Amino acid sequence: MTDKQHITIKGVKEGLVFLFDDQCEFSALLDELHYKMEKSHQQLLSGPLIHVHVKLGARAASDEDKERIRAAIRQRGNLLVQSIESEMEAQQKRDENAERLKMMTGMVRSGQTVEHDGSLLLLGDVNPGGAVVCTGDIFVLGALRGMAHAGVSGREDVIIAASLLRPTQLRIAEVISRPPEEWITGDASMEYAYLTEGVMQIDKMNQLYRMRKDAIVFKGV
């Protein structure tokens, strides 16, 4: 192996993320992947079942290339590839999700669950005992005092935002929020929850541009 490393392996709460250099030849990338699987990372890659997400950067990979990546990782029997995704594919998913934005007016009461394939803009409150479950983002222009689960299909680049963020539980993909007393700020401004390296964080809505350079476009409302 050369000194130049084309693959970075990072441990996150939900497993491992493989970050691939998008500038090198695919054959060199595959050679390094095999080497890491077989020789240099036994301690990190051994043990119980580990979920793996592969980030390709700007690299465009064919289905055949992706299968070769999966095959190389599968040789470690405890590694389960959850996703192999390029930046372009991730952007396409965000665009598709924006096109499936649903606007709803009213109150989500105790015992009621609202589900949507896409993102939801709720003009109203979510009461304790009520729940909102979406594959995309959740925006509540009101008080969120119940449960909200965004990215229910596994997406981790989604957010949960509310004018008043006081939920009983927040969940993004498989990550469940910290205890409420840890993230209630007492601030009256609109806030949102998001994931960074598998950990849920809370920030003010006016900081969302730092996470998403592209504007959030509400289509089909």
pLDDT band of residue 129 (cuts 50, 70, 90) is very high
Cα separation of 56 and 80, whole Å? Answer: 17
Top-level class of domain 96-211: mainly beta
pLDDT band of residue 1 (cuts 50, 70, 90) is very low
Domain layout of the chain by residue ranges = 7-85, 96-211
Tokens of 218: 């509400």
Distance from chain centroid for Cα 185 = 23
Question: Which pLDDT score is estimated for 219?
Answer: 39
Question: Which pLDDT score is estimated for 79?
Answer: 85
Mean pLDDT of 43-57: 80
Q: Which residues pair with 217 in a beta bridge?
A: none
Candidates 100, 81, 103, 82; CA nearest to 92 is 100
pLDDT band of residue 134 (cuts 50, 70, 90) is very high
Candidates 85, 49, 66; CA nearest to 157 is 85
213: pLDDT strictly greater than 50 = no
Cα separation of 107 and 114, whole Å? Answer: 10
Pure H helices in the chain: 26-35, 42-45, 63-74, 87-99, 180-183, 208-211
Mean pLDDT of 21-29: 88
Block residue for tokens 């000194």: 3
Cα separation of 54 and 5, whole Å? Answer: 16
124: pLDDT strictly greater than 70 = yes
Same fold, 7-85 and 96-211: no
List pLDDT tens digits, range 57-109.
888 888 899 999 999 888 877 888 888 888 877 777 666 655 578 899 999 99
7-85 belongs to CATH 3.20.20: no
Please tell me the least confidently modeled range out of 62-71, 128-137, 162-171, 198-207: 198-207
Question: Which pLDDT score is estimated for 95?
Answer: 65
Question: Which pLDDT score is estimated for 217?
Answer: 41
Question: Which pLDDT score is estimated for 42?
Answer: 63
Please tell me the least confidently modeled range out of 49-53, 129-133, 170-174: 49-53
Contact 101, 120 (CB under 8 A): yes
